[in-house]
Structure 1
């Protein structure tokens, strides 16, 4: 092992769940920490929290040099946060029906990136912030999940998140969302888990929480591992303000920090392809580089995986590690991949996806890999079949499926030390037996037989899915959305359009995507409406995210017209099925990768027909009116204009949101809208 650093980190540091943000009301006992032996969260009706944003100086381990790089980054802190592990935000825990009160205090210094700033879609105001509760079903207005405000340096603002009684339990997260500085702050580590815990058992008339099933023999939650993946892309700078780099054969192979340097995130030239690969940085898990987990053979674990980063697509697999493998050291990307090839030698073990973006799926789907794009969450049920070491590997991925647009080789994310336990011959069978036994202990008599029958029928979780399917007869309207990056001018324009295109007969006259304008609403939608959306991208892939209401995936058609979202999809047109899509048909999510095979501007529009994916989703606009946003979750794309304002109002213009008056005019039209 490498020597301990001044900051208490070393190679293969021990994994731990992030700290829980503790309540601040006088006389209140601290909240329980995320662990196996915790008591279930019980609702007191209110939970009062304080969250502070400030510059935090600490260190991040760099395997390429064997040193901890000293860094000074914007971060969240609060009661219960470990000052030795600051670069992951504390966990916020809640229960359905609660009010979460979060007082956000901005202690960042004033900055000059706002002064004289004219273009809303050029990064700016790096020390202004706000808070987004990603995936929560709460109001988007006022003091709730309102991302259209700025909490400026030296100011505070209190958020009230009123979770409905029927809010799903699940894995959500929070992060800063001030337009113009979102990517810079999230890339500093300003992202954290938001876990809604519920113990509602299924009844004859209502589905229950998955938490109620995932209990051990003592009635405690099964072992949980909570992982927040981040890409903290810090750099060290020379006297001229240029990033220090290592160059080999004229190519930048790493960003370097010399002893005494302090790593920073200063500006947006630190983002975008190909900077992530050049930087030589590593995806952190809870602020740690390549941590070491502990597990036991035959133990069912719930791995709550959150992609809280910006700059990398993750495809997670568990592979046995060679006995006696050395501690990881690699100075180049090629050496890093070579380590995995030599030491992570076994075939991947299967695991089961039980929830996507916090919402329980209809089946615990067996898989060898799960692809997480920025904003994604997957709850995986993991069981290791034999004692020994395992690698948590980021698997190879083609550039067309990745945020970086560059093909990636295998990379090591973490390791797992698995102790001896009950032998496992077949993971599917062992997991089924464990969940059936849990159902016998936990489920009410009047639904127990139905739950057990479902589990024995391919690990179905029918009685725990939080939303009913959206039927054909419910649809009241349609929406269309297109992502595009216009590279024809001196400055790239990141755009969203409201009109689909025919890839085989592209008409430039009707192709009118536009960059974000905060003064207008791009879509006025009716409360109580149920709409089917068609999503496309005309240039490179983008993760689509919409606030407030989740959506159900209907189909994902590849350029050959094959629905690649179906389980076990096969492309009879001679193409290749992207492994991130099969099994998503019918799944509820709030973020989804919209793929395009075009990455060369010269191929637009001639190759649209052979490159365009077409995705259909359905969503209900329930309960909440007001304004919120949809955007690409490559957050520097959002900061540069790949976002729209959406407004929900009562039907026929009878609501206080007044959406129609604020609608953005078509080019050449006039509007009397006054806004913000």
Structure 2
């Protein structure tokens, strides 16, 4: 079945199921606002670590991180050129969509309170735009405004002012060019963002440990290129870490490292397992937790992230894998696959005592909801249509009006025979219950998996920013085919 008929990847409840031991190259919708002028000038930020897009075949390849653009004195100025390029993936030349020529593009690295000035140049023959996934910033004007498009051959200058209290952790950026989000992201248009500051919550002895970005993307090849139409999320696909096939991640026996796990692909889920080890979660979806929790397997639907501490096993090799996973009777089935090989070698170091208590978060259980709403995700699989409250997406329609500085409680129901991935922009939420069972959240999140024919209850507080922004299924085939709606925050 094609992804459209199989309804694309849905992963089990981000934290809920993180338990221990869709395609088409159809015409653009022209109702959204186009950008026709280039404003401002930018220059590339420093790039201390060259990206590697050449991946020789074989059991292992060297681990490498994307190059980084790093803020300085509170400012990061970046120029991103969007274009089609031939890159090397799994040792073969593949035509892909790239930012600055890379399938795994530069990581943007900033601190809370910084400003990002980003000029995007569109060298594609179709429109595109940019979404800074998870950022608590304005959804209007030249900030995280997914309703504007950059036409072919044109440029646009984005300006983001990060709040001083923006949560540290791992975010990502990607195309949100409805209805072409899926093909553009699947072909390569996604990269990582790191907001520094998690270290201040760690014990002093762990504040300078090695950090690794482990960004998960998958690709398929058809006629020498990653397909941008007729994408089948249930077909065999090559999983990569930072664009690399089975890289070898070095660690010393007993050493503590901070890994930034991020699913930055278009559609599929990862059921991430560390052989012989455990993930000690310190942040979810770039929200530091109040209490560190651990698991040997983390279920990661599209868009989700976990910042985790890991400790080196005894000398030898072990696998970082994604385990077999099925998203429901009408969904996809993914086989087990090796993501990377963990190579433990060198002098052993005593295992550090890991923190138990970590950060603070505002527990919304104590808020009195100003509104209680029911949101329904449904689908017509034969017609390849996906709905929220029985409606296909219309960028002009306001589906929910919420008042600034109020808390709302939403019951999000899924009537389909496959999982869907709920995501909302700007304001993260607290998971309250799953299928009627109370959920003890350790922090906020911005993605959650909706169980097959089940429901979750979430609470969110609409803070700081007025304006319109979407909530949608983060299986991008579903989003492109209607499963998106708009909330407007008003005074």
Q: TM-score range by the shorter chain?
A: 0.7 to 0.9
1:232 CA drift (Å)? 1.9
What aligned pairs does 1:291-370 form with structure 2 within 5 A after superposition? 291-319=247-275, 348-370=276-298
1:46 CA drift (Å)? 2.3
**What's 1:71 paired with?**
94
Q: 1:469 aligns with which of 355, 363, 385?
A: 363
**What's 1:388 paired with?**
316
**What's 1:460 paired with?**
357
**What's 1:668 paired with?**
none
Q: 2:374 aligns with which of 464, 468, 480?
A: 480
**What's 1:617 paired with?**
458
The structure with the larger Rg is 1
User: Cα RMSD between the aligned structures?
Assistant: 2.1
Whole-Å Cα distance in 2 between the matches of residues 550 and 382 of structure 1? 26
- Return 5+ residue gaps in structure 1 as ranges: 1-5, 22-30, 32-40, 62-67, 78-82, 111-126, 199-209, 237-261, 320-347, 425-429, 436-454, 498-512, 567-584, 597-611, 651-676
What aligned pairs does 1:99-114 form with structure 2 within 5 A after superposition? 99-108=115-124, 110=125
Contact 2:108-2:194 within 8 A present in 1 as well:
yes
Whole-Å Cα distance in 2 between the matches of residues 313 and 411 of structure 1? 12
1:614 CA drift (Å)? 2.1
Whole-Å Cα distance in 2 between the matches of residues 543 and 92 of structure 1? 25
Whole-Å Cα distance in 1 between the matches of residues 55 and 283 of structure 2? 35
Contact 1:214-1:222 within 8 A present in 2 as well:
no
After superposition, the Cα gap between the structure-2 partners of 1:354 and 1:290, relative to the gap in structure 1 and judged at 3 Å, is same
Whole-Å Cα distance in 2 between the matches of residues 586 and 555 of structure 1? 13
Contact 1:69-1:263 within 8 A present in 2 as well:
no
Instruction: Say which SS state the counterpart of residue 150 (structure 1) adopts.
Output: strand
1:361 CA drift (Å)? 1.0
**What's 1:17 paired with?**
65
1:478 CA drift (Å)? 1.4
**What's 2:188 paired with?**
189
What aligned pairs does 1:484-633 form with structure 2 within 5 A after superposition? 484-487=378-381, 491-497=383-389, 513-539=390-416, 540-557=418-435, 561-563=436-438, 565=439, 585-596=441-452, 612-633=453-474
Count of residues in Structure 1 that have an aligned counterpart in Structure 2: 437
Whole-Å Cα distance in 1 between the matches of residues 86 and 326 of structure 2? 36
**What's 1:266 paired with?**
228
1:398 CA drift (Å)? 3.5
**What's 1:211 paired with?**
199
Contact 1:290-1:413 within 8 A present in 2 as well:
yes
Whole-Å Cα distance in 2 between the matches of residues 648 and 562 of structure 1? 30
Whole-Å Cα distance in 2 between the matches of residues 288 and 586 of structure 1? 32
Instruction: Say which SS state the counterpart of residue 231 (structure 1) adopts.
Output: strand
After superposition, the Cα gap between the structure-2 partners of 1:622 and 1:73, relative to the gap in structure 1 and judged at 3 Å, is same
Whole-Å Cα distance in 1 between the matches of residues 203 and 61 of structure 2? 29
Whole-Å Cα distance in 2 between the matches of residues 215 and 44 of structure 1? 26
Structure with more of its chain in helix, by fraction: 1
**What's 2:130 paired with?**
131
Structure with more of its chain in strand, by fraction: 2
Contact 1:476-1:529 within 8 A present in 2 as well:
yes
Contact 1:283-1:289 within 8 A present in 2 as well:
yes
Instruction: Say which SS state the counterpart of residue 185 (structure 1) adopts.
Output: helix
Whole-Å Cα distance in 1 between the matches of residues 207 and 457 of structure 2? 40
Q: Which protein has greater RCO, CA pairs closer than 8 Å, 6+ apart?
A: 2
1:552 CA drift (Å)? 0.7
Whole-Å Cα distance in 1 between the matches of residues 357 and 415 of structure 2? 37
